[in-house]
Amino acid sequence: MNDLFAAQSLGTRTTLGPQACVLHGFGLPVVDVLLADIERIQLDAPFRHLVTPGGHTMQVAMTNCGPFGWCSDRRGYRYDPRDPDTGQPWPPMPQAFLQLAADAADAAGFPGYLPDACLINRYTPGTRLTLHQDRDEDDRIAPIVSVSLGLPATFLFGGFARSDKTVRVPLAHGDVVVWGGVDRMRFHGVLPVKDGLHELLGARRINLTLRKVK
């Protein structure tokens, strides 16, 4: 199915496609635990601005936790079990991350979800994420679970070609987006984050992107 379903809000859920939705506020009950876990993770694996294979520095700072971490440099995009900056394994995936991902995936129709990678992206006002597909995973059916924290953002969700029409989906603190199955390979991105101050994170937006690599 190549045509993107129009986003439809129903209660606390916005449907983006046959197997894609936003669960509004789903992460709010565990926000304090998530933020404490992020603080611990960045002590061992600090945020950094990766370089693309083409030599461009990414706007969004990022780090990882879990068995695999997503990396980018002149050699290409890939997953690595070790942090290239330290040579050490990435920090373990916190239980709160695993439980929230499993619960959100189950609510979206993907029971038994167990991610093995979590990318932690840090946005500041003006930073964005261009349209892309998540193509570096061996498993391209299991869902991606994306948790928004801090400043609001506008999520772009498109089709299976970069030129396909996108819908703009407002995301607030605690919202969780889940897409997998027939929607797994849709293009997606984030518009530039607007200026603002969040009561917990200040002028920052943090996004947890949980994936099944293997």
Tell me the per-residue pLDDT of 92-107, one tens digit each, with 9 for 90 and over.
999 999 999 999 999 9
What b-and-e string marks burial along 117-149, b requiring 16 or more CB atoms within 10 Å of the CB? bbbbbbbbeebebebeebebbeeeebbbbbbbb
Q: What is the pLDDT of residue 146?
A: 98
* Tokens encoding 162: 């970069």
Helix (H) or strand (E) holding 148: strand 144-150
Q: What is the pLDDT of residue 4?
A: 53
Residue 176: name the closest of 127, 96, 107 by CA.
Answer: 107
Can you tell me whether residue 70 is helix, strand or coil? strand
At 180-193, the pLDDT tens digits run 999 999 999 999 99
HSE of 125, CA atoms in CB hemisphere, 13 A: 8
| Four-point Cα dihedral 37, 42, 44, 47, nearest 10 | 150
Tell me: pLDDT of 72 over 50.
Answer: yes
The maximal CA–CA distance of the chain, rounded, in angstroms, is 46
Q: What is the pLDDT of residue 38?
A: 98
Q: What is the pLDDT of residue 1?
A: 35
Tell me: pLDDT of 2 over 60.
Answer: no
CATH class of 9-211: mainly beta
At 141-166, the pLDDT tens digits run 999 999 999 999 999 999 999 999 99
Residue 173: name the closest of 194, 145, 198 by CA.
Answer: 198
- Under 8 Å CB-to-CB from 11, ≥6 apart: which residues? none
Q: What is the pLDDT of residue 3?
A: 45
CB atoms within 10 A of CB 167: 15
Determine if residue 40 is left, alpha or beta; phi over 0 gives left, psi from -120 to 50 gives alpha, anything else beta: alpha
At 3-55, the pLDDT tens digits run 455 566 656 999 999 999 999 999 999 999 999 999 999 999 999 999 999 99
Q: What is the pLDDT of residue 87?
A: 97
Residue 211: name the closest of 142, 121, 156 by CA.
Answer: 142
Q: What is the pLDDT of residue 66?
A: 98
pTM, to two decimals = 0.94
What is the DSSP secondary structure assignment for residue 28, as one 8-state letter? Answer: G
Tell me: pLDDT of 136 over 90.
Answer: yes
